[in-house]
C-alpha cells in the first residue's frame, strides 16, 4: 500500500488526530496538576483551572463532537491555533508577560510538529506572536515595571526562536515525509513489477509447449493490466505471424496483413526496439488488427533477448484506453520476463530438425558412458569381452559384434565375447595378420571387391574392424557387422575401443602384479605373503565356525648334495619337481607355499590330523618315486603335521608343525610325523 493512496492518507490523519487529542488532554492535566501545587497563588490557580477546563472543553468538542472532515486539511492548524489562544488566556490570567507559566504558552507551538506541516507551525506561531505582543503593549501602556517589560522582551525573542526552530523541524519532517512517501511509492511500484516478473517466470517454468507459453503470458498480462487479448508475433524478420489468445483461452494462429505500411505500431516497435502505445486504434491509419475487430487500444512491446529482438508481444483492450507510464512499464516487465522463455522455444523449433540426427549420436555417447560403468563391474577377461560386445551391439545398433583378445604372449588373436547374430570368427595365429591391427586404424569392408579384405573372414556382408591398443601395445580387436540402421561413428568407435583396451590392459597389469606379489618365482607356489593371508582366513573360520584345518611343514632332504653334484640348475629343477608333485598329489583346495629355500608348507582346510598325515605321506612317496626315475634330481622330503584345536592360535599350529618336522629330521629324515596323542594306535608309523 503506497502512502499516497486514500487508505494511507486516512491512516496518517488518524495518527495526527490521536496525537493532537492526547496532547490537549495532557496539557490540560498538567495545568490542573500545577494548580494543585501548594505554592500556586489563588489568582494563578483560578487561571490554571480555567485554562485546563477550556482545553478539556476544546478536546471534547473538537475530537468527539465536530466531524473529522470539518475544515479539511486546515483542521489541524485551526485546532493548534485555538489551543494557542487558550494558552494566551492562561498567560493573561496568570500575570501577563511576567507569568511564571510562560512555558505552557509555547506548548501549542511545539505541538504543531505532530502535523508535519510548516504552514500549521507558522499559523500558530503568528497567533502566539500577535497575542504576546498585544499583552506586552498593554503592559507598557498601563505602566508596567521596567523589569517586567525587559523580561517580556526577552521572552518575546525566546518565543520567536522557538517558533523558528519548530518551523525548521516541521519543514525538515515535512520534506523527509515527502521523500519517504516518494521512495515508498517507488518501492511499491518496483515490488509490484517484481511480483509480476516472478509470477510470469514461475508460470513459464512449468510450460511444455508454445501454446501453453502464450496462455501463461496472457494470464500474467491480464492479471497485471486487465487486458482482453494478447498477440505474440513470432516469425522473423518482420514478425507478421504468430499466435493470439483471448479470454476464452483458445490459442489461434495470427497473420498480419503483409500490405500494411512501414509506419504501423508493430513495425515501429520492432524497428525502434521500444514500446509503442496505442490509446485509440481508430487514430492509426493502418492498425495491426489481424482480423480481430476488438483491438481498440493496445501496447506493442518488443521481446529483446541478448540485445536482439526475437519476438513481439501486443496486449489489447476492447475499449479505448489511456495507457499510463506504470502500465507501460508493467507490460515491459511481462515482456522481459517472457523473452528468455520465448527465445528458448524459438530456438527449440530451429533445432528440432537437427535433433533427430543428433538423437542417435547422443544415445551412442550415452552407451559409451554405460560401457565404462559396465566394464568396471566385470570380473575376468571373458566377462569383460562379453560385456563389451553387448554394449557395442546395443549402443551402435549393430546386428552382431565380436570382441577378440590377444593372449599374454601376443601369439594368437582369439574371439572371447560375442553379441547378436555374430559370424563365427576363427582364431588368428599372429595378430599382425589382422588388417586392422596391422594398419593400426579403423578397417572397413563394404563389398567382396574391396582392395583389401580380411583373409580370415569370408565376405557375407558389410563389416568393420577396430584395433584395441593400450599404451602402444595391441591387445585385441573389435569385429563389427553393421546394417543400414547401424550408427558407425568412427570417432566414437575409436573411443569405445580405447575404453575396452584400457580396461583389458589394466586388468592384466593388476592380475600380473597380484600374481607376482603372492607367487614364488621359482616354483610357482604361493609365497609367505599369501601364506599369512590364507592362514588368517582359515584360523578365523576355525574359531568362528569350528571348521578345522591342518598344517604340513615340509623340508627337502639332500638338496645340497644335488646342488654340489649336479649344479644349482638341477637343484632348481628338483624344487620345481617337488612343487609339481604337490600340485598333482594334493587337493585343489589345499594351499602349497614355499616359505624358504628348501622349506615348504601346506595349509589344508577342512582336514583333520590323520587326513593331513596321509596326504603328506602321498607327497613323500611321490617325491621318492620321482627321484628314482631321474637320479639327477633325486631328493626326499621330511614332513611334520599339526592340526588346529580349540584354544590354539595360528602361530602355535605352525610351531607344532615345525616341531614335528624337526622330529622327523632327527629320526632319520624321509618320513612324516604327526603330533603325539592326536593319532590313534592303528595310524601306522607316521605317529610319534
Bridge-based pairing of strands 672-674 and 636-643 is parallel
- Between helix 650-666 and helix 528-545 the angle, nearest 10°, is 120
- The reply to whether 370 falls in a domain is no
Of 271, 273, 264, whose CA–CA distance to 298 is shortest? 264
Contact 425, 413 (CB under 8 A): no
pLDDT tier, 3 (very low <50, low <70, confident <90, very high otherwise) = very low
Same domain, 133 and 244: no
pTM score: 0.40
Half-sphere exposure of 181 (CA within 13 A, CB side): 12
Instruction: Encode pLDDT of 72-87 as tens digits.
Output: 777 777 878 888 888 8
Q: Do residues 172 and 120 share a domain?
A: yes
Query: 289 in a domain, yes or no?
Result: yes
Please give the backbone phi and psi of residue 598, each rounded to the nearest 5 degrees, phi first: -120, 25
One domain for residues 546 and 663: yes
Residue-number span of the structural domain to which 488 is assigned: 378-516
Do the domain assignments include residue 193?
no
The answer on 511 and 529 residing in a single domain is: no
- Read off the pLDDT of residues 407-433 as tens digits, 9 standing for 90 and up: 877 778 888 899 888 888 888 887 777
> Which of 469, 498, 516 is the last residue before a domain boundary?
516
Average pLDDT across the chain, whole number: 82
Same domain, 56 and 108: yes
* Sequence-distant (≥ 6) Cβ neighbours of residue 408 within 8 angstroms: 508
**Per-residue pLDDT tens over the stretch 330-375:** 888 888 888 888 888 777 767 765 666 667 667 776 777 777 788 8
Query: Which grid coordinates belong to 336?
Result: 522481459
529 in the same domain as 471: no
Residue 541 lies in a domain: yes
Within this chain, do residues 599 and 645 fall inside the same structural domain, yes or no? yes
| pLDDT higher than 80, residue 50 | yes
Q: Does 547 lie in the same domain as 512?
A: no
**What's the grid cell of residue 334?**
511481462
Q: What torsion, rounded to 10 degrees, do the Cα atoms 147, 151, 153, 157 define?
A: 160
Assess if residue 382 is contained within a domain: yes
C-alpha 147/C-alpha 152 separation (Å) is 9
Question: How many domains does the chain contain in total?
Answer: 4
485, 516, 547: which is the final residue of a domain?
Answer: 516
Residue 83 belongs to some domain of the structure: yes
User: For 500-521, what is the mean pLDDT?
Assistant: 80
Between the ranges 374-378, 511-515, 662-666, where is the mean pLDDT highest? 662-666
pLDDT of 262 higher than 70 = no
* Residue ending a domain, choose from 482, 497, 516: 516
Indicate if 487 and 527 belong to the same structural domain. Answer: no
Write out pLDDT tens, residues 558-608. Answer: 888 888 888 888 888 989 999 999 999 999 889 999 988 889 999 999 998
CATH number of the CATH domain containing 424: 3.30.450.40
Q: Residue 556 belongs to a domain with what CATH number?
A: 3.30.70.270
201 part of a folded domain: no
Residue with cell 604337490: 582
Question: pLDDT band at residue 284, thresholds of 50, 70 and 90?
Answer: low
Residues 608 and 665 in one domain: yes
What CA–CA distance (Å, rounded) separates 488 from 317? 58
- Predicted pLDDT at 661: 93
- pLDDT for the residue numbered 64: 84
Assigned C-alpha cell, 510: 593388476
Amino acid at each position: 500500500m503506497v502512502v499516497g493512496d486514500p487508505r494511507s492518507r486516512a491512516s496518517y490523519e488518524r495518527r495526527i488526530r490521536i496525537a493532537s487529542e492526547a496532547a490537549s488532554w495532557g496539557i490540560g492535566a498538567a495545568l490542573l496538576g500545577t494548580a494543585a501545587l501548594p505554592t500556586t497563588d489563588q489568582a494563578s490557580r483560578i487561571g490554571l483551572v480555567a485554562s485546563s477546563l477550556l482545553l478539556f472543553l476544546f478536546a471534547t468538542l473538537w475530537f468527539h463532537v465536530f466531524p473529522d472532515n470539518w475544515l479539511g486539511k486546515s483542521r489541524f492548524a485551526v485546532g493548534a491555533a485555538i489551543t494557542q489562544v487558550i494558552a494566551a488566556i492562561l498567560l493573561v490570567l496568570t500575570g501577563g508577560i511576567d507569568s511564571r507559566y510562560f512555558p505552557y504558552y509555547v506548548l501549542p507551538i511545539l505541538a504543531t510538529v505532530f502535523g508535519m506541516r510548516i504552514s500549521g507551525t507558522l499559523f500558530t506561531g503568528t497567533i502566539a506572536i500577535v497575542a504576546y505582543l498585544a499583552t506586552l503593549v498593554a503592559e507598557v501602556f498601563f505602566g508596567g515595571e521596567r523589569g517586567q517589560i525587559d523580561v517580556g522582551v526577552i521572552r518575546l525573542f525566546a518565543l520567536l526562536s522557538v517558533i523558528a526552530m519548530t518551523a525548521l523541524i516541521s519543514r525538515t519532517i515535512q520534506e523527509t515525509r515527502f521523500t519517504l512517501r516518494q521512495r515508498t511509492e517507488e518501492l511499491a511500484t518496483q515490488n509490484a513489477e517484481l511480483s509480476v516478473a516472478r509470477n510470469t517466470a514461475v508460470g513459464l517454468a512449468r510450460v511444455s509447449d508454445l501454446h501453453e507459453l502464450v496462455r501463461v503470458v496472457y494470464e500474467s498480462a491480464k492479471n497485471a493490466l486487465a487486458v482482453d487479448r494478447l498477440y505474440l508475433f513470432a516469425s522473423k524478420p518482420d514478425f507478421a505471424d504468430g499466435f493470439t489468445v483471448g479470454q476464452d483461452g483458445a490459442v489461434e494462429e495470427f497473420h498480419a496483413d503483409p500490405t500494411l505500411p512501414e509506419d504501423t505500431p508493430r513495425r515501429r516497435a520492432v524497428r525502434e526496439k521500444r514500446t509503442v502505445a496505442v490509446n485509440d486504434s481508430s487514430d492509426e491509419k493502418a492498425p495491426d488488427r489481424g482480423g480481430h475487430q476488438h483491438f481498440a487500444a493496445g501496447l506493442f512491446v518488443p521481446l529483446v533477448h541478448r540485445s536482439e529482438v526475437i519476438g513481439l508481444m501486443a496486449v489489447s483492450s476492447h475499449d479505448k484506453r489511456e495507457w499510463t507510464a506504470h502500465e507501460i512499464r508493467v507490460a515491459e516487465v511481462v515482456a522481459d520476463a517472457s523473452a528468455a522463455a520465448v527465445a528458448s522455444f524459438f530456438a527449440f523449433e530451429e533445432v528440432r530438425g537437427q535433433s533427430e540426427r543428433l538423437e542417435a549420436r547422443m544415445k551412442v555417447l550415452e552407451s559409451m558412458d554405460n560401457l565404462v560403468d559396465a566394464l568396471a563391474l566385470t570380473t575376468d577377461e571373458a566377462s569383460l569381452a562379453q560385456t563389451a560386445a553387448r554394449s557395442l551391439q546395443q549402443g551402435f545398433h549393430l546386428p552382431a559384434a565380436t570382441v577378440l583378445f590377444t593372449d599374454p604372449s601376443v601369439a594368437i588373436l582369439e574371439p572371447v565375447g560375442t553379441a547378436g547374430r555374430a559370424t563365427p570368427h576363427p582364431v588368428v595365429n599372429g595378430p599382425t595378420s589382422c588388417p586392422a591391427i596391422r594398419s593400426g586404424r579403423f578397417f572397413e569392408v563394404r563389398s567382396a571387391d574391396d582392395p583389401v579384405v580380411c583373409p580370415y573372414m569370408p565376405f557375407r556382408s558389410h563389416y568393420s574392424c577396430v584395433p584395441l591398443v593400450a599404451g602402444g601395445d595391441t591387445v585385441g580387436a573389435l569385429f563389427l557387422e553393421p546394417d543400414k540402421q547401424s550408427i558407425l561413428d568412427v570417432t566414437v568407435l575409436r573411443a569405445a575401443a580405447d575404453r575396452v583396451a584400457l580396461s583389458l590392459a589394466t586388468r592384466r597389469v593388476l592380475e600380473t602384479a597380484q600374481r607376482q606379489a603372492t607367487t614364488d618365482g621359482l616354483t610357482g607356489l604361493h609365497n609367505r605373503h599369501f601364506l599369512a593371508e590364507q592362514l588368517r582366513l582359515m584360523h578365523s573360520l576355525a574359531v568362528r565356525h569350528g571348521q578345522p584345518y591342518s598344517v604340513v611343514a615340509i623340508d627337502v632332504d639332500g638338496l645340497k648334495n644335488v646342488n654340489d653334484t649336479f649344479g644349482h640348475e638341477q637343484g632348481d629343477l628338483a624344487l620345481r619337481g617337488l612343487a609339481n608333485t604337490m600340485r598333482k598329489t594334493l587337493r585343489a583346495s589345499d594351499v602349497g607355499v614355499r616359505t624358504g629355500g628348501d622349506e615348504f608348507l601346506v595349509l589344508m582346510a577342512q582336514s583333520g590330523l590323520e587326513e593331513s598325515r596321509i596326504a603328506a605321506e602321498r607327497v613323500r612317496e611321490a617325491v621318492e618315486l620321482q627321484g628314482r626315475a631321474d637320479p639327477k634330481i633325486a631328493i626326499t622330503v621330511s614332513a611334520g603335521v599339526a592340526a588346529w584345536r580349540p584354544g590354539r592360535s595360528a602361530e602355535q599350529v605352525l610351531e607344532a608343525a615345525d616341531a614335528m618336522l624337526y622330529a622327523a629330521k632327527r629320526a632319520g629324515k624321509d618320513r612324516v610325523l604327526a603330533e603325539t596323542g592326536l593319532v590313534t594306535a592303528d595310524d601306522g608309523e607316521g605317529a610319534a
